[in-house]
Structure 1
Amino acid sequence: MFSPVLSIQADEYDDKIQAQTEKISTLENEQTAAENALSALETQISKTEAEVDELFAKKTQEEERLNELNSEIADLKVAIEKRNQQLKEQARDVQVNQLNNSVVEAILTADSLNEAVGRAMAVTTLVNANNEIIEKQQVDQAKLEELSLEAQEKLATIEQQSQLLQEKQESLVEARLDQEVAINELQSMITTEKKQKATFEAQKEEAIRKREAQLKAIAAQKAKDEAARIAAAEQLAAQQEAAKTATKKVETQPAVSNTSVADVPNNNTTPTTETVTPPVQESSPVTSSGWGLPVSSVSVSSPYGWRANPWGNGPSEFHEGIDLVGASGTSIYASKAGTVATTGYDASAGNYVIINHGDGYYSYYLHLSSFAVSTGQSVGQGSLVGGMGTTGGSTGVHLHFGIATSGNWSGFVDPAPLLGI
């Protein structure tokens, strides 16, 4: 960029001044161009940050709606179970295959015509009431299926937005690294001494090296996460297939001989099939410290301790847990027996569960896609807590698992030694 240093001689003094003036003019022009490029980078970064904020707001809205759907689904399941119990209790009182005989007997043994009519109407009222219950069951079952489908669509939307958010964050990280390179270029251009220029050029090369190393690390981590996600998805698919096989075996078993009210021939009713859910698998193994793994397949994407800001727009941060990656919906288990201290949603933690183990320790489960427990519930080691997700401040499907000596988001310790990983 610079011409060689001219010899300082009296008869060449005017030439030296002219050469220095031209050098300064060239540097000023290059400095202006570099500042314009830097300003363009700042504008690009501001635009990307705005897009990230907008995506995060939309993602939060979808997560709140998903929680509402899950609550409605839970209420419907309770209502349906109560009606099922009511039908079973009524079936024990009136056997359907004896209904016609019961009506005839009621009429024949009556002391008067009024008493006979009253008995017949009582039996008929009971049958009509059962039919109304069955019709309500059908309506609620249809609504349950509709809400479940909408919940699945919301979850898919959240995961899609999380993927977009991750791509935006990676773009933001790359833009900021490019900005550092541009700053070093600017510093190298405004220096007038070769030694200073060499120093800044070395800094530029170091920034480029760090940029390439960080981008390579990001790509490697992304590949690792994708491999873990695929493995977890395959394992989940195998578990679901095993559950379907178990359900089919239950459905093909001979029906119970006792006849229920639902056996009454009626054109307004539709037979329903009861689905049997297979037992929850417990996490294993249990370490010598008494803690079990919260997932059946362990793949750590971010350990406990200091790490680079995953959003790419701030200083390093202290990670108060470990991140375990997997497929969306992967079962999350209680690492130790205890009582659910609280469940809830937070813009940063997403859907979370905190369990009090009664021995001075609490375990934290963050970014869940769904809940399988409620506040105050007692759980055993290996009990299902919820499904793996990417709710809250998350750029990909994973479980943030933490262990602390307090239930107030403080006193965290490294969970890895306790889990034996």
Structure 2
Amino acid sequence: MIKLRKYTALTLCAFILAGPVVASADEYDQKIAEKDQKIESLQETEKSAEAEKALLETEVANVEAQVERILQEKAEEEQKLSELTAKIQDLQAKIEKRDQKLKEQARNVQTNHDAVTVMNAVMESNSIGEAVKKTVAVSTILTANKNTMEQQTRDKEELQKLEKEAEARLVVINEKTAELKSKQDKLVQTKLDQQVKINEIQASIATEQAEKDKFQKQKEEAEKKRQEALKALEEQRKKEAEAREKAQAEAEKQAKAAAEAAQKAADEAAAQQAAAQTAQEKSEAEMAALEAQRQQQQAEQQAQQAGSVTDPSASGVPSTNPGAGTPATNSSGWGSPLSIGLVVTSPFGPRVDPTGLSGTQHDGIDFAGSAGTPIHAAKSGTVIEAQYHWSAGNYVIIKHSDGYYSYYMHMNAAPSVGAGQQVSQGQVLGGMGTTGNSTGVHLHFGVSTGVWSGFVNPAPLLGI
């Protein structure tokens, strides 16, 4: 009977423990469905953002084509400007020569008192023929001087016109170049902002997918525990049935033996009573009859007990109250590189290249923050590098006593520590920025087993 009650209690405990497992599996199904909805919504947003990015890329390409045309026009205008400059220089040379010639003629007139005039030429001639020749020569000289002055005036006016035209062309070229460069810079910045938005959406999708995978794994574990509980329940039922059959057979055997013993005692008492001749014998016979009656009653009680073996309500069931476990604390010895909390924008591992120069394998974790936010040493150690790199920007590498190296990249200015310096955990190394190959303000935090090699996922070390 004791064994039977123990089996029944264990069976009911199995039912109690199996119930929450089933409920937990259903709960995981609901959580997985919610994650699927979020992922689907984020993927639609990503498609929209990608479409916007494609339009921006088309617009950027058009602007770049315009810039190319303007640059061609600029080159042509600069060629024309060069030609104008050469022409201007040629006119300036001619004007200077004429100026020099006119100055020399003026000096000659001032120093030579015999001024060249038609009247002088006639008066000084010895004959009419000589007078005619001198008159023609003097007229020719005067006409040449007049033509020279007129050409000088025209060339100076042409020079002023060309200089104004050259200045106007240069102004137009500079205005077009500045306008298109401004538009190009704005579109490129818009494209980069769109890529940052897409990266954030992809990071959210990755986060939601990771949560979904976690719930899926938990659901599988819950289902596994449920199957194990059902299997244990089935085995318990078999043991219970076997124990019940065994107890039933034992009770029936004991009842039969008791009934046979009672019947035998009753027969013997009756025989003794019939054969008694004296009062003493009669009294002994009555005593024997009472004993037989008692044994009969005991046999009936045993028979009743044998019939109640299969009644589970006769068994006591212990109550269960499992206690809740407490999660294990992170004992890696690593601290957070930021005091504002860690918001992951790009996790460790494969990803879409955000700039075209970073590659598809992300060797660290990107954390969000604002420009100038203090960056702290995640663990004490020795600074082995603190400088600028075209890709990492302003960065610091620290070597730790456990063989790891930690990386802090894209600082807004030169690090506040230097190579060879000992730093303690939590010491400020610099401020968050976006220097180097970066699309926005963030901290790239990495951990490796060698200098620029053997990168590992920092998340477990940081407890995230």
Which category describes the TM-score, using the shorter chain as reference length? 0.3 to 0.5
Q: Which has the larger radius of gyration?
A: 2
> Per residue, is there more helix in 1 or in 2?
2
